[in-house]
Amino acid sequence: MRNRVIGPKSIPARVAAAAMLALPALAASGPVIAQDNAVLRFGLSAYPPGLDPFRHEGAAGHDVKLQIFRGLLGLNGSGEIVGELAESWEENGTEYVFHLRQNATFHNGEAVTGEDVKWSLEQIRAEGSTAYFKDELQVITEVEVIDDSTVRIKLDAPTPAFLKLLATPYVPILSREAGLEDPVGAGPYRITATEEGVAIEFEAFDDYYKEGYPKTERMRMIAYRDENLRVAALEAGDVDIIEYVPWQSMAKIEDDPDLTLQETTGPNMVLNFNVEQPPFDDARVRRAVCNAINRKDIVDAAFYGRGAPLEGLPLDENSEVADDKTQTLFGFDMEGASAALKDSGATGQEVTLLSSSTYSMHQDTALVIQQYLINAGLQVTLDLPEWGARVAQGNEGQYQFAVNGSGTVVNDPDGLTAMIGSGTPSYKRSYGYSNEELDALLKKGRHELDPEARAAVYDEIAQIVAEDVPLCPLTRRTQGFGLRQGVEGFHALVGSASGYSAFGLEAVTLD
Amino acid sequence: MLSYTIRRCVVALLLAVSVASLVFFALYLVPGDPATMLLSVGGVEPPAAAVQALTEELGLDRPVLVQYLDFLGGLVTGNLGQSFANGDTVWSMIAVRLPRTLELIALATAISLAVGVPAGLAAALRQGRTVDRLFSFTASVQMSLPVFVVGTAMVYIFAQRLGWVPAGGYVPLAQDPARHLVLVLMPALAISVGFSAIVFRMSRATVASVLTKDWVRTARAKGLAEGRVRRWHILRNALGPVATVVGLEMGGLLGGSVLVEYVFNYPGLSGFLVTAIENRDYPQIRGTVLVIAFLFILLNLLVDLLYMLLDPRVRD
């Protein structure tokens, strides 16, 4: 079933007639839009801005890079860590030993060896590196090549998130021989052709280390920047899978018997504050704001009901520390919020909420918040610049409070450090916020290996967040993939792993 | 005529460089740091050290004036620089996009001329009659329809409902000629809806004014066949202003077809420019604007030369 978008009457009869005369002649030949079963066609949300193996280049970048490069570890369809180039591994506090697969080869035919692992990790950590995980991997003190297929990695402190970091697209192992100029990886596919700004063609790598994979011989990734056109391409049968299904189209895809929607929770929306200026230098005001918003309305207005209110730490839904103590810190209480604003002397003050007109979800979220805060007694005006300007304003602290999309890079509570810990000013953090007690606890949580002790640390962190409100959690939004009937073996991953779902494209079959 | 042409070409070059310089400095007034933007795709925070390293790698830590001289030096040697995003030369990226845009514009112009000029002539010759009223009314409707509405409706009808065509995209001619043609025809038709109406209005107005001239009456009076009068006396004299309008429209489409490119997922120059601006990819923005400005000026030059061919009086 499909909803009518725009009635056919809105087209001038003349153009319609002309097009009707011209198009069937071209389309009648049939194969023009016929589906080729040997090729998996994936609708990207953008053409990757680049294919640097270590940089962060957006969701589309991950989709492509995960096909050509692989690291030591990866994620299976349930989001669990599995071996990629590493067949097995042992961990002992600060020491990890990885055993590489004997049959792993790079696309240039060379075997993947311990030296390649060492070299790749060195490139990420090197002085002047622009790798996304440059800071994260400074925890490594030594990479020792025991033999061709065994590597020992030593860390300067126990780090429970370490394996999770390796199981992302950010730590690929590359051929040392080939170097960085023209990087060569060991992924399931190799690129055979690119049409700049349009599409990338892949062909299965015959010597891929997993027997029988990839399941589909050829793959074509086509960029559709316009979200509605991406959906139209899926409906028209131009592609088999699309990423980032827009929320307004999710119901339509669910109702279509020819299509399937795989929907999981993805990143979160939060409010950040500039704590160097009144009124948000006062924790009471921040807390009042956080209790004055009915989050359900944001889910409904900005996300078409696709998501859930977020009342606690902005962690993945399936985080190991997500429990009542960390997930229920704030709630909607208009009377309490109004009274608290009055007590702190903020009632009637003029404040500006920064958001961005580039993304409707950011803008709509800001509109809902504006209404609730006006009811609570604040005079809120909106500042809605384009995204690039909004990021710059955020980094420079040119705002009072701001709507933000937020998520951890991997499903680990240590991701909170980047959001509420002290550090260089960034639009992802509340400007000027620093809390020594919180910093100490975050550091403790980062290096605590015992799961129970670790959960207790984050319970304590949650208590401080509830009191001091370094950020205000708003909603958990969902992320959707659209699939055509007959596409099997694809699993959309949950939460922070959602963007890494392309790990599983090697298992997809078409019927 | 030759010296006139050379003079115009030199002025055109200077104009293009001035536009590029203007863009160069304007970019530094726009908030947003290229290194941060490049590393924070998808709204995720990049580590400060990585931003610093990239800033140095891209040469953005140098004084603006040094960067500007570097840019001018590059221009002299025909080097537009390298994209921040992927290190490809800007020229190679434009060279991929430009032919697609030119093809789209050429096709849209051809359709608009083929529909607009005959319709304009027909309407002007039957002023006030039913044909004239019908055509003029249709043209008003066409002009008031935004291109994204037309485009979205076309995708909805022809791709989603009828399944005759793919829902936008692009395929190189060599790979699949039929599909290539369909994919460029859809956006071209969407553009022609408004464009042909403009051509129609201009043709109708100029033909109508030429019709009142004495020499048209004379030509008819001396017994020339009506077809010959229309082709050689009326149409040729009426086409000058139409050529000017078409030239301006085509120039506008070089950087202004972004909406239609979005709707049809057509990878042309306009969408490329918008992405470059969003990413603060300075060399890409400068290079693209420079090329567009140059082509715009070139188009106007061609229109002037065409004028001379159409109207001998201008040559002197």
Tokens 């989709």 belong to: A63
Same domain flag for B261 and B301: yes
B178 touches chain A (CB under 8 A): yes
A368/A349 Cα distance (integer angstroms)? 18
CB A292 within 8 A of CB A338: yes
Residue B213, domain member (yes or no): yes
Q: Find, among B218, B118, B190, B116, the residue nearest to A11 by Cα.
A: B190
Tell whether domain A39-51+186-265+478-510 is in CATH 2.40.110.10.
no
CB pairs under 8 A between A and B: 205
A6-10, A364-368, B194-198, range with the lowest pLDDT? A6-10
Q: Model confidence at B303, in pLDDT bands (50, 70, 90)?
A: confident
Residue A235: its chain B contacts at CB < 8 A? Answer: 160, 167
A239-248, B121-130, B161-170, range with the lowest pLDDT? B161-170
Mean pLDDT value across chain A: 89
- Judge whether residue A126 has pLDDT over 80: yes
- Judge whether residue B53 has pLDDT over 80: no
pLDDT at B1: 63
Same domain flag for B108 and B65: no
For chain A, give every domain's residue range.
Answer: 4-21+266-477, 39-51+186-265+478-510, 70-166
Same domain flag for B154 and B62: no
Residues with Cβ within 8 Å of A208's Cβ and at least 6 positions away in sequence, in order, are A186, A187, A188, A214, A506
Same domain flag for B136 and B268: yes
Predicted confidence (pLDDT) per residue in B230-279, tens digit: 888 888 888 888 988 998 899 888 877 888 888 898 988 888 888 888 87
Predicted confidence (pLDDT) per residue in A351-408, tens digit: 999 998 878 889 999 999 999 999 999 999 999 988 878 888 888 889 999 999 887 8
CB A407 within 8 A of CB A495: yes
Number of H helices, E strands in chain A: 15, 19
Helix (H) or strand (E) holding A65, with range, is helix A58-68
Percent of chain B clearing pLDDT 90 (strictly above): 25
Residue B25, domain member (yes or no): no
A91/A402 Cα distance (integer angstroms)? 41
Q: How far is CA B270 from CA B96, B266, B267, B301, in A?
A: 13, 10, 8, 22
Q: B74 is in which domain, residue-wise?
A: 32-79
Residue B47, domain member (yes or no): yes
Q: Which comes out higher in pLDDT, residue B56 or A440?
A: A440
- Judge whether residue A11 has pLDDT over 80: no
A245-249, A292-296, B75-79, B190-194, range with the lowest pLDDT? B75-79
pLDDT at A2: 39
Residue B15, domain member (yes or no): no
Best mutation target among A56, A228, A259, A431 (most B Cβ atoms within 10 Å) is A56
Same domain flag for B177 and B108: yes
Q: Model confidence at A35, in pLDDT bands (50, 70, 90)?
A: very low
Best mutation target among B45, B97, B266 (most A Cβ atoms within 10 Å) is B45
A12 touches chain B (CB under 8 A): yes
B49, B155, B158 member nearest A229 (Cβ): B155
Residue B117, domain member (yes or no): yes
Residue B223, domain member (yes or no): yes
- Judge whether residue B184 has pLDDT over 80: yes
Percent of chain A clearing pLDDT 90 (strictly above): 75
Q: Collect contacts of A199-207 with beta carbons under 8 A, ≥24 apart.
A: A199/A223, A199/B169, A200/A64, A202/A67, A202/A68, A205/A107, A207/A103, A207/A105, A207/A109
Q: How far is CA A290 from CA A295, A311, A358, A427, B96, in A?
A: 10, 9, 24, 19, 50
A49/A61 Cα distance (integer angstroms)? 7
Same domain flag for B131 and B274: yes
Nearest CA in chain A to B40: A56
Predicted confidence (pLDDT) per residue in B128-175, tens digit: 899 999 999 999 999 999 888 999 899 889 888 888 888 888 888 888
* ipTM score: 0.75
pLDDT at B47: 66
Structure tokens of A74? 């990866």
Range B276-283 average pLDDT: 84
Residue B8, domain member (yes or no): no
Q: Which comes out higher in pLDDT, residue A256 or B293?
A: A256
A59, A222, A429 member nearest B169 (Cβ): A222
- Do you know the residue count of chain A? 511
B156 touches chain A (CB under 8 A): yes
CB A137 within 8 A of CB A126: no
> In Å, how far is B125's CA from the nearest CA of chain A?
21
Same domain flag for B74 and B199: no
> Among B79, B111, B135, where does a domain finish?
B79
A252/B143 Cα distance (integer angstroms)? 32
A129, A426, A427 member nearest B53 (Cβ): A129
Predicted confidence (pLDDT) per residue in A68-114, tens digit: 999 999 999 999 999 999 999 999 989 999 999 999 999 999 999 99
Q: Do A388 and B278 count as a contact with CB atoms less than 8 A apart?
A: yes
B142 touches chain A (CB under 8 A): yes
Same domain flag for B51 and B146: no
Tell whether domain A70-166 is in CATH 3.40.50.970.
no
Residues 216-235 of A with CB under 8 A from B: 222-226, 228-229, 232-233, 235
Same domain flag for B107 and B68: no
- Judge whether residue A502 has pLDDT over 50: yes
Same domain flag for B136 and B213: yes
Residues 90-149 of A with CB under 8 A from B: 128-132, 134-135
Q: What is the CATH number of the domain that holds B189?
A: 1.10.3720.10
Q: Model confidence at A31, in pLDDT bands (50, 70, 90)?
A: very low
Range A101-130 average pLDDT: 94
> In Å, how far is A429's CA from the nearest CA of chain B?
9
CATH of A4-21+266-477, one of 3.10.105.10, 3.40.50.2300, 3.30.70.3400, 3.20.190.10: 3.10.105.10
Three-state DSSP state, A246: coil
B153 touches chain A (CB under 8 A): yes
Give this prediction's pTM. Answer: 0.82
Q: Model confidence at B84, in pLDDT bands (50, 70, 90)?
A: confident
Count of domains in chain B? 2
